[in-house]
């Protein structure tokens, strides 16, 4: 038994933030405080001190932040990671000999006991610390020592150590003789865009004005001002690579394509190149670089689709047939999800004997586009590839480029989606598209915002995608699009739309289908972006409200109000200091007006129960005086939502 084991008294348990007991790192954002908690206790009644110790992963020396006792042996401290890198943190605790002695001295003096022996003990403790003290600390400690040694009666001894600065000085200077710490944990610290942003998805080839001719990056440049005006921070591009010719799909996913049909961009690769090449009808790599620069110049980042699959014409098929699934006759299998067949796509075989070279090649694709200014990747169907691969890829990329963001497009089982987030994905698509009534929304947001998912799972609330047109949008008309936009934009720090949403496009392929009629996945779809009935200005006001209010920048600060109508939902969001409080009320019925009394949780909003306050609707500009109970009526034909900011207290 080692010497340190003999005097070990401190127990530290349940350190947080911790994901699966530290198996995976928690996630935070640079410049924002990271709260650290732990259960800390020891035998007996001695006083404990504890600190959070933290450093950048590439540094040697730890910094410290104090921890404070909360309740029931739970302690809390916080530190603010300043940089977009990985951090290491732990908790250290020890017995505070001086504080323990001082507490005991007070009890004895108050009980009228003699304390000559205790005063001598205290002086000895102070002298050890004084040997390391300088400046004001040395003066303070030496005065206390002198007072103890000269004390003639108990209260004089207590008075000698009554300076309120003394305990803190001793906390810094005394030995941590029985200090205990726990195994350090890793914290992934991302840049702010990882947590907050508005995404806009469009196909470059549809940005021209001709259904029979592909739009180009130059055409896409001309849309930047419009997209920025709507308040979007990220433009996500579906694959921009050469499209395969073999088994090319026609309109509406038909099995036959004419020579003029552009094919599906997810059938990646032909004789001109693969994942690091540009589809020639869109322009050149130089054109892409110019587009990225132009977008960055107006404050928009470009996100690229990273789809790990190939067309039969991809160069890899000839160069590395071992990376694909082989039939007994030596031919390569195309993708299937019985009864569906995808003859234009070859899935990649991660069980290939040459898996290592496959992994390295896929990483080189990401590295290539990082070299061309891309720092955000939307990953297609990551749940159909090994989680271990994504953990390796993301860690490898972020080791050199910690500012790179990965979004997981995984609409699959909950535990699989969670596992991908734990493995390193910065953001994740969600079930939001299929959560449309109040009970579903409250239950889902409560899970996302109040469970341990907040440590690793960052939702991105896309209202639609090229694959998903929910029945709510198909049947609800213009109001349904406004309602879903209001919910997504105000419920999640990150949200997004697929282009055409602002035009309220809602025609399905057929009844019961979530596929779009005349899907842009298989044909060129130029649009009139100012067509009557569009909600571009409405989306712009939503994004402006988000950008102007810190309350929308975090997920965990949502609290729901009690609304006496199942067709209406209301919630509040607030900044950490409660200086910015917003209240959102939405009519979930796109067909008719709804009204209800709602009761606000004022205590959770940092307000006294009897408060009255002036609110301003950030969508309409209207002002109201509100209190705990309020009657609300919303007409979806006019405006289905209130986004109210508390402007000032009235009483």
- Give how far the C-alpha of residue 418 lies from the chain's centroid of Cα atoms, to the nearest Å: 13
- Edge-to-edge order in the sheet of strand 629-634: 562-563, 594-599, 629-634
Task: Give φ, ψ of 225 to 5 degrees.
Answer: -65, -40
**380 an active-site residue?**
yes
Segment (H or E) for 396: helix 387-400
Ordered DSSP codes for 48-100: EEEEEEEEETT-SSPEEEEEEEEETTEEEEEE---SSSEEEEEEEEEE-HHHH
Q: How many CB atoms lie within 10 A of CB 593?
A: 14
CB 308 within 8 A of CB 362: yes
Distance of CA 211 to CAs 265, 518, 524, 525, Å? 16, 12, 5, 6
List helix spans (H) across 151-250: 154-160, 166-173, 217-221, 224-229
To which residue do tokens 């200014």 refer?
Answer: 373
Classify residue 586 by its DSSP letter. Answer: E
Q: Which of 96, 409, 455, 520 is catalytic?
A: 409
Q: What angle do CA 550, 194, 19 make, to 5 degrees?
A: 105
Farthest CA pair distance, the chain: 106
Q: Tell me the C-alpha distance between 270 and 249, whole Å.
A: 15
Q: Tell me the C-alpha distance between 552 and 490, whole Å.
A: 7
CB 264 within 8 A of CB 311: no
Pairing of strands 185-190, 335-337: unpaired
List helix spans (H) across 401-551: 414-423, 438-450, 471-491, 536-548
Q: Which of 92, 279, 301, 380 is catalytic?
A: 380
Return the closest-CA partner of residue 494 out of 579, 552, 421: 552
Q: How many CB atoms lie within 10 A of CB 527?
A: 17
Which residues, other chains included, contact 420 with Cβ-Cβ below 8 Å and sequence gap of 6+?
382, 383, 387, 390, 408, 410, 428
**59 an active-site residue?**
no
Residues noted as catalytic: 380, 409
């Amino acid at each position: 038994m080692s010497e340190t084991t003999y005097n070990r008294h401190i127990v530290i348990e349940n350190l947080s933030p911790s994901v699966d007991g530290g198996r995976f790192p928690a996630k935070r954002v640079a410049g924002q405080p990271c709260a650290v908690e732990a259960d800390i206790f020891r035998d007996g009644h001695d006083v404990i001190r504890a600190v959070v110790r933290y450093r950048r992963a590439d540094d040697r020396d730890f910094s410290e932040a104090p921890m404070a006792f909360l309740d029931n042996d739970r302690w809390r401290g916080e530190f603010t990671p300043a940089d977009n890198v990985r951090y290491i943190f732990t908790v250290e605790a020890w017995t505070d000999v001086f504080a323990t002695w001082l507490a005991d001295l007070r009890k004895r003096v108050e009980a009228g006991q003699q304390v000559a022996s205790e005063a001598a003990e205290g002086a000895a403790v102070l002298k050890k610390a004084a040997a390391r003290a300088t400046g004001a600390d040395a003066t303070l400690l030496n005065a206390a020592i002198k007072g103890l040694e000269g004390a003639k009666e108990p209260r004089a001894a207590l008075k000698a150590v009554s300076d309120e600065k003394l305990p803190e000085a001793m906390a810094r200077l005394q030995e941590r003789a029985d200090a205990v710490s726990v195994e350090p944990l890793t914290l992934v610290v991302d840049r702010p865009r990882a947590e907050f942003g508005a995404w806009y998805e469009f196909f470059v080839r549809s940005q021209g004005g001709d259904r029979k001719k592909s739009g180009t990056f130059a055409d896409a440049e001309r849309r930047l001002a419009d997209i920025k005006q709507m308040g979007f921070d990220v433009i996500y591009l579906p694959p921009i690579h050469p499209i395969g010719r073999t088994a090319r799909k026609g309109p509406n996913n038909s099995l036959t394509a004419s020579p003029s049909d552009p094919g599906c961009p997810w059938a990646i690769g032909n004789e001109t190149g693969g994942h690091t090449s540009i589809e020639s009808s869109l322009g050149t790599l130089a054109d892409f670089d110019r587009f990225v620069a132009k977008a960055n110049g107006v404050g928009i980042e470009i996100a690229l689709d990273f789809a790990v699959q190939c067309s039969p014409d991809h160069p890899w098929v000839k160069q590395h047939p071992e990376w694909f699934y082989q039939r007994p006759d030596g031919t390569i299998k195309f993708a299937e999800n019985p009864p569906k067949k995808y003859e234009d796509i070859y899935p990649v075989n991660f069980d290939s004997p040459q898996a290592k070279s496959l992994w390295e090649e896929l990483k080189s694709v990401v590295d290539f586009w990082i070299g061309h200014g891309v720092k955000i990747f939307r990953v297609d169907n990551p749940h159909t590839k090994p989680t271990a691969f994504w953990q390796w890829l993301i860690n490898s990329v972020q080791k050199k480029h910690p500012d790179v963001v990965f979004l997981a497009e995984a609409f699959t089982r909950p535990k699989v989606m969670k596992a991908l987030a734990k493995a390193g994905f910065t953001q994740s698509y969600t079930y939001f598209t299929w959560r449309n009534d109040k009970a579903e929304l409250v239950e889902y947001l409560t899970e996302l915002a109040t469970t341990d998912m907040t440590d690793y799972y960052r939702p991105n609330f896309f209202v639609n995608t090229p694959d998903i047109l929910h029945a709510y949008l198909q049947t609800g008309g213009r109001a349904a699009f406004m309602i879903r936009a209001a919910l997504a934009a105000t419920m999640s720090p990150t949200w997004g739309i697929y282009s055409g949403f602002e035009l309220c496009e809602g025609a399905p392929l057929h009844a019961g289908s979530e596929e779009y009629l005349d899907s842009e996945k298989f044909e060129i779809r130029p649009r009139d972006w100012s067509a009557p009935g569009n909600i571009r200005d409405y989306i712009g006001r939503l994004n402006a409200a988000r950008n102007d209010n810190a309350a929308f920048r975090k997920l965990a600060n949502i609290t729901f109000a009690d609304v006496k109508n199942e067709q209406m939902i209301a919630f509040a969001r607030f900044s950490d200091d409660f200086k910015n409080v917003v209240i959102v009320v939405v009519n979930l019925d796109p067909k008719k007006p709804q009204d209800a009394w709602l009761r606000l949780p004022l205590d959770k909003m940092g307000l006294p129960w009897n408060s009255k306050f002036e609110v301003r609707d950030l969508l309409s500009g209207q002002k109201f005086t509100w209190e705990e109970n309020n009657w609300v009526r919303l007409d979806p034909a006019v405006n289905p939502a209130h986004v109210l900011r508390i402007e000032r207290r009235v009483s």
